[in-house]
Amino acid sequence: MIKNTSSLKIGVVGIPGKWSTEVLADAIEAKTGFRMVIDIEKVVAYLDEPSVRYKGTCLCGLDGIIIKKISQTYSPAIIDRLEILRFVEKCGVKIFSKPQEIIRLVDRMSCTVSLARANIPMPPTIITEDMDAAYEGVLSFGKAILKPLFSTKARGMEVLNSESSAKTLKAQLNQYYEKQGFFYLQKKLKLPGKDMGLVFLGGEYQGAYARVSSGNSWNTTIHSGGKYAEAHPSDEIIEIAHKAQSQFDLSYTTVDIAETEEGPVCFEVSAFGGFKGVHEGLGVDMATQYARYVIDTLEHSA
């Protein structure tokens, strides 16, 4: 028997008090009368029972869970948190997006390899633990961006220049290796001062917004002063983004793409997908649309 929309109990895993988490919880509450924002750091899994509890409530009793945010910053701990939610699925709770798919994305290495295997155009990339190979990679690229395997909004990224002295470059690489244990190098491409986020809900293209650089940073992230604006990607770019996100079974995501002199390149498929860019760049309430999608999916699968 299909439940009435008002009887569905859908929790939102996110950061309590943060805008994107709260607007999604608001949208769910408006349609179901139920509200639960789940701070994953306070969740306890009892594997032998089995049950997973949050503030006295067993999450196995929910109809669905939406993972909006799992941490303020990316780190390997995210995978452990997602594993707990993967266990919740054992109870029969449908989770949006599937934890195992998000795990494939929060690790930059896994995301990049999946995109490369699908022949998605990306900046030239070198992945290695070898110091000499990393050094030679910087020299061949001219300018390279050294990226942590776990990061968001360009945090922890460094720009390396082949014109620096060998001593300086090797010192930068060595210092980075001591912190990260792996080199992920991408050629720094000449960008037009903006990139785009193409939005997908249930695998279907919804629109695109741009992140426009403030001119004071090499990247376009809002964290570095960039601004959101409307974007009108070509059919070719939409097709690339569609193929990129289709490598992962995601309920909601954004695909980051930029136009370069060598053609469009994909930087990443987002593990979670943001709402603010769509809201400010396109004037679209994606939280409400996402809530409606989740409710419709649960009703039709009941």
Q: Are strands 10-13 and 64-67 parallel, antiparallel or unpaired?
A: parallel
Q: Are 71 and 81 in contact, with CB atoms under 8 Å apart?
A: yes
Which candidate, 278, 272, 266, 277, places its Cα nearest to that of 206? 278
Confidence of residue 225 (pLDDT cuts 50, 70, 90): low
Q: Are 126 and 137 in contact, with CB atoms under 8 Å apart?
A: yes
Q: Are strands 227-230 and 204-212 parallel, antiparallel or unpaired?
A: antiparallel
The pLDDT tens digits for 74-118 are 777 889 999 999 999 988 999 999 999 999 998 899 999 999 999
Task: Please report the pLDDT score of residue 119 as a whole number.
Answer: 98
Q: Are 42 and 52 in contact, with CB atoms under 8 Å apart?
A: no
C-alpha to C-alpha distance for 261 and 123, rounded to whole angstroms: 12
Task: Please report the pLDDT score of residue 1 as a whole number.
Answer: 36
Confidence of residue 3 (pLDDT cuts 50, 70, 90): very low
> Which residues touch 239 (CB under 8 Å, ≥6 apart)?
none
> Which residues touch 42 (CB under 8 Å, ≥6 apart)?
54, 55
One-letter amino acid at 263 equals: G
C-alpha to C-alpha distance for 44 and 225, rounded to whole angstroms: 38
- Helix residue ranges per DSSP H, 62-142: 77-88, 99-106, 108-117, 131-141
The pLDDT tens digits for 249-300 are 999 999 999 999 889 999 999 999 889 999 999 999 999 999 999 999 999 9
E strand or H helix that includes residue 207: strand 204-212
The pLDDT tens digits for 9-20 are 999 999 999 999
Q: At what angle do helices 131-141 and 166-180 cross, to 10 degrees?
A: 120
**CATH T-level assignment (fold) for domain 5-96+286-301:** Rossmann fold (3.40.50)
The pLDDT tens digits for 140-193 are 999 999 998 887 767 788 999 999 999 999 999 999 888 888 899 999 998 888
Extents of the domains making up the chain:
5-96+286-301, 125-187, 191-271
Q: Which CATH class is domain 125-187?
A: alpha beta
Confidence of residue 224 (pLDDT cuts 50, 70, 90): low
Within 13 A of 154's CA, how many CA atoms are on the CB side? 17
* pLDDT above 70 coverage of the chain, percent: 93
List the CATH code of the domain at 191-271: 3.30.470.20
- Average pLDDT, stretch 26-31? 97
Other beta carbons within 10 angstroms of residue 118's beta carbon come to 12
Q: Are 275 and 222 in contact, with CB atoms under 8 Å apart?
A: no
Instruction: Look at residue 219 and tell me whether its pLDDT is greater than 70.
Output: no
> Which residues touch 234 (CB under 8 Å, ≥6 apart)?
264
